[in-house]
Structure 1
Amino acid sequence: MQPMKRVLVLCTGNSCRSQMAESYLRFYANELLEVESAGLRDQGVNPMTIKVMEEDNIDTEGLLSKPLSTFYGQHFDYLITVCNRAADADLAGLSYDEHIHFDIPDPALATGAPERVEREFLRVREIVKKNMLKFLGKLMAESQ
């Protein structure tokens, strides 16, 4: 049996997009991948992230915002960046085989009425889900 592939999902604050991506990858590929997420800085998990993920029946227990430095010196098979700031950052402390990038808008920047903010989180959640499923499809195609 092959060892599990390691994936690190990286964004600016590890509060929304990377947390969503980590949650979806764990849900859809828990037996195939070891998944972590981090941010260029640690901003804490946004409560709206938890809310919209749980509305999609995705387990959020144990989600924790972590700074990128937590993973310095570790090796990952895949580094997935979910924002341009993370993709353009100095990642010299990381070791990875393949870098995959998705430019996903930050729902934490949404303003206005609470309903409007939640709609943006839901919209971004669906973008993240689509991209993580696309990544998993790529992995499955490569393994055949």
Structure 2
Amino acid sequence: MAERKRILFLCTGNSCRSQMAEAWTRTLKGDIYEPFSAGVDPKGLDPRAVKAMAEVGIDMRGQRSKSVEDLPVQDFAYVVTLCSHAQESCPYFPASVKRLHVPFDDPPLLAAEAATEEEAMAPYRRVRDEIKTFVENLDL
């Protein structure tokens, strides 16, 4: 079996989008990629992100919010930024690391104006499904 490629998903808080991307990649492409996630300013795991992923059978409760410095490895084949702030603030990686920017909407920001919990969950579910589609088509 070929060695899995290490991929880092980076966003601002490492609370939602990058966590979802890590979980989807582990679930759908774990035989090809060794996924990690981090944030440029970690904020803690978002309970609604955990709930949205649980709805599709993926348990993220064991994941935690972290910075790049907190990761057990630093040698990544790919770094994927998921928001403009992470793209602009991305730490230095060696030239051999391939970088990709794939922005997704920020569910907590979109949920802030929701009148009900069901309305608040809608952007989480939509972004969850968009990230799943991205990972399904991931061929780096």
- TM-score clears 0.5: yes
Q: How does 1:128-143 map to 2 (within 5 A)?
A: 128-135=131-138, 138-139=139-140
RMSD: 1.7
Q: How many residues align?
A: 136
Kindly indicate whether the alpha-carbon contact (under 8 Å) linking 2:18 and 2:37 is maintained by their aligned counterparts in 1.
yes
Kindly indicate whether the alpha-carbon contact (under 8 Å) linking 1:8 and 1:76 is maintained by their aligned counterparts in 2.
yes
Q: How does 1:75-94 map to 2 (within 5 A)?
A: 75-92=75-92, 94=93
Q: Which string of whole-angstrom CA distances, capped at 9 and with x for unpartnered residues, describes residues 11-63 of structure 1? A: 00000000000000000112222111000011000000010001011132421
Relative to 1, partners in 2 of residues 1:89 and 1:72: Cα closer, same or farther, differing over 3 Å?
Answer: farther
SS of the aligned residue for 2:103 comes to coil
Q: Which string of whole-angstrom CA distances, capped at 9 and with x for unpartnered residues, describes residues 46-105 of structure 1? A: 00001000101113242111012224982100111111111111422x335211111101
Q: How does 1:95-110 map to 2 (within 5 A)?
A: 95=94, 97-109=97-109, 110=111
Mapped partners of 1:33, 1:68: distance in 2: 18
Between 65-74 and 18-27, report the one with greater CA deviation: 65-74
Mapped partners of 2:40, 2:126: distance in 1: 23
Structure 1 segments unaligned to the other structure (5+ residues): 140-144
Relative to 1, partners in 2 of residues 1:32 and 1:61: Cα closer, same or farther, differing over 3 Å?
Answer: farther
Mapped partners of 2:8, 2:84: distance in 1: 16
Give the TM-score, by structure 2 length. 0.89
Give the TM-score, by structure 1 length. 0.86
Relative to 1, partners in 2 of residues 1:115 and 1:61: Cα closer, same or farther, differing over 3 Å?
Answer: closer
Relative to 1, partners in 2 of residues 1:73 and 1:129: Cα closer, same or farther, differing over 3 Å?
Answer: closer
Mapped partners of 1:73, 1:50: distance in 2: 24
Kindly indicate whether the alpha-carbon contact (under 8 Å) linking 1:14 and 1:45 is maintained by their aligned counterparts in 2.
yes
* Structure 1 position 117 matched with structure 2 position 120: yes
Q: Which string of whole-angstrom CA distances, capped at 9 and with x for unpartnered residues, describes residues 112-136 of structure 1? A: 221111011111111111112222x
Structure 2 segments unaligned to the other structure (5+ residues): none
Question: Hey, what does 1:142 align to over in structure 2?
Answer: none
Kindly indicate whether the alpha-carbon contact (under 8 Å) linking 1:41 and 1:68 is maintained by their aligned counterparts in 2.
no
Percent identity, aligned pairs only?
Answer: 37
Question: Hey, what does 1:27 align to over in structure 2?
Answer: 27
